[in-house]
């Protein structure tokens, strides 16, 4: 069967991408990081890919205008050329269409900075603080046609402090993203995830899952 070929899509700093690179380096993740696809020319994640010797391709979404599927077709071409078996959205700031999802059914993983289904969308940390919740966190889930609504793989709770700002809460959640995203990719690569409707069953035999509460 061979090692899972992972294609990472990212738009910005690339710290979640870096967590995959570091986990692989430390022997905690046995996958082939086959390609990084970035939609923002000059984004810092591209330098991280270069340093890690991960092939990187820029597919700028802007020339496509409102032709979202045209942009996605170019991304799919890159992923297919690299024979990617798992797609990871690691700070990829674009919504994808149903046609893209059909290309990789139950093979796209996203990370979101809230305990879904609470606070979907682009401003999760701000929304959590505004709502006055005492606990937020991060969610790693499979991507479906909804917005941040696919089957949940892992979650990690993070307390919301009374003096938190959007930035301080985001920083603490990000620390947990760097733990749980590589773990979710490992679980997929080792064939430990079984999707049954809205539920994801995890085969935990021989592996220790960190506390999620």
- CATH code of the domain containing 47: 3.40.50.170
Beta bridge partners of 7: 35, 87
Question: What pLDDT sits at residue 118?
Answer: 96
Domain count, the chain: 2
What is the reported pLDDT for 1? 56
Beta carbons within 10 angstroms of residue 1's beta carbon: 5
For the CA atoms of 49, 51, 53, 55, the dihedral, rounded to the nearest 10 degrees, stands at 30
pTM, whole model, 2 decimals?
A: 0.95
* 92 lies in the same domain as 165: no
Positions marked catalytic? 112
Which residues of the chain fall short of a pLDDT of 70? 1
In this structure, the answer to whether residues 139 and 199 fall within a common structural domain is yes
Asked whether the beta carbons of 7 and 86 are under 8 A apart, the reply is yes
Is-contact 169 136, C-beta < 8 A? yes
Q: Do 147 and 57 share a structural domain?
A: no
CA distances in angstroms from 121 to 116, 126, 164, 184, listed in the order given? 10, 11, 20, 21
**pLDDT for the residue numbered 20:** 98
Do 72 and 154 belong together in one domain? Answer: no
20 lies in the same domain as 47: yes
Domain containing 187 equals: 110-213
Q: Are residues 62 and 33 in the same domain?
A: yes
Question: Are 117 and 161 found together in one domain?
Answer: yes
Backbone angles phi, psi at 76, to 5 degrees: -60, -40
Same domain, 129 and 100: no
pLDDT, residue 147, reads: 75
Same structural domain for residues 58 and 143?
Answer: no
129 and 211 share one domain: yes
Asked if 176 and 155 sit in the same domain, the reply is yes
């Amino acid at each position: 069967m061979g090692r899972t070929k992972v294609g990472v899509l990212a738009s910005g700093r690339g710290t979640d991408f870096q967590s995959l690179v570091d986990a692989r380096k430390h022997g905690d993740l046995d996958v082939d990081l086959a390609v990084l696809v970035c939609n923002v020319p000059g984004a810092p994640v591209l330098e991280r890919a270069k340093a890690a010797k991960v092939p990187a391709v820029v597919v700028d979404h802007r020339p496509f205008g409102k032709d979202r599927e045209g942009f996605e077709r170019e991304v799919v071409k890159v992923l297919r050329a690299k024979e990617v078996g798992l797609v990871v959205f690691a700070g990829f700031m674009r919504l994808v269409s149903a046609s893209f999802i059909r290309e990789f059914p139950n093979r796209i993983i996203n990370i979101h900075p809230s305990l879904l289904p609470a606070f979907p969308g682009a401003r999760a940390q701000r929304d959590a603080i505004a709502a006055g919740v005492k606990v937020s966190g991060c969610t790693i889930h499979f991507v479906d046609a909804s917005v941040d609504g696919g089957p949940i793989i892992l979650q990690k709770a993070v307390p919301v402090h009374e003096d938190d700002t959007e930035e301080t809460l985001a920083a603490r959640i990000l620390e947990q993203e760097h733990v749980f995203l590589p773990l979710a990719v490992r679980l997929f690569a080792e064939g430990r995830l079984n999707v049954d409707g809205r539920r994801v069953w995890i085969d935990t035999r021989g592996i220790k899952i960190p506390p999620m509460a």
